[in-house]
Amino acid sequence: MTSDSGAVVRDTAPTEGASPPERRLDWRRRLAVAVGWVGLRLLGATWRVTVHGREWLLARPDDAPRVVLMLWHGQLLPLLWVHRQRTGVIISEHADGEVIARVVASFGFFPVRGSSSRGGARALLEAARALVAGSDIAITPDGPRGPRHSFAPGALMLAHRTGAALVPLVAHADRVWRLPSWDQFEIPKPFARVTVLYDAPISPEEAPLRTVVEKAPAFSRHLEAAAERVRRLAITDR
């Protein structure tokens, strides 16, 4: 998967027509969409999932401020399965991005097309509009190309522009396959115990954008600290 951002907690989509129309897919990519949809549903149905820290997110009134969810690219699969709410996801504009867009749409997400390498400025603008309209946005700061667990400033720029809080979102599975890709993409094995943590929100600093962006390494450490917490929670959940 090569998503660069992503998630929403309310049935509100950005302005209609904001993202490019769907591309026509050849039969191989249509097959990939079908296999991805069926495969994730069959596999995910076997996982034993425990979620921590999401209560406040679900209990917010509709007019409460939205948030920017931050997650590592390699954990997209379990988090996509667990979050499953009306969600906007920034997805790369290359050809395979259309396959990913259709798979995530089948789980209730909506795509915002663009990435740090293609269409990035437009994607951040549309993500900001979605936040203002009432949608949470989640971003993979190390996507779509890495390096793994690096922290590109897109999430900080989005939070600075809109005033949204940043929420680390992490997962731990006790048994996983890891792909030989730059992000070590994780696929929890059948019947794996999957623990997910929505960590405490972090309010953006009221400072010039350049000052905020310079603190990106600190937010990488926030995600790493959340990853350590979810590992400890996974032990207590057994």
CATH code, domain with 93: 3.40.1130.10
- How many domains is the chain built from? 1
> What pLDDT is attached to residue 121?
81
* Assigned domain for 187 exists: yes
Give the separation between CA 8 and CA 110, rounded to whole angstroms: 9
> What pLDDT is attached to residue 94?
63
> Per this entry, what is the length of the chain?
238
* Assigned domain for 70 exists: yes
* Assigned domain for 17 exists: no
Tokens for 63, please give them.
């007019």
Give the separation between CA 164 and CA 221, rounded to whole angstroms: 19
* Assigned domain for 2 exists: no
Which residue segment(s) compose the domain that 189 sits in? 27-237
Give the separation between CA 188 and CA 172, rounded to whole angstroms: 9
* Assigned domain for 193 exists: yes
> What pLDDT is attached to residue 74?
92
The pTM score is 0.83
* Assigned domain for 7 exists: no
Give the separation between CA 20 and CA 121, rounded to whole angstroms: 14
Residue of 59, 101, 102, 108 whose CA lies nearest to 83:
108
Residue of 57, 132, 52, 121 whose CA lies nearest to 90:
121
* Per-residue pLDDT tens listing for the chain (238 residues): 434 333 333 333 333 334 445 557 677 877 877 888 899 999 999 999 999 999 999 999 988 988 898 999 999 899 989 998 877 877 766 656 677 778 778 887 877 776 555 557 888 888 899 889 988 887 888 877 889 999 988 889 989 989 999 999 999 999 999 999 999 999 999 999 999 999 999 987 777 888 888 888 888 899 999 999 999 999 988 8
> What pLDDT is attached to residue 212?
84
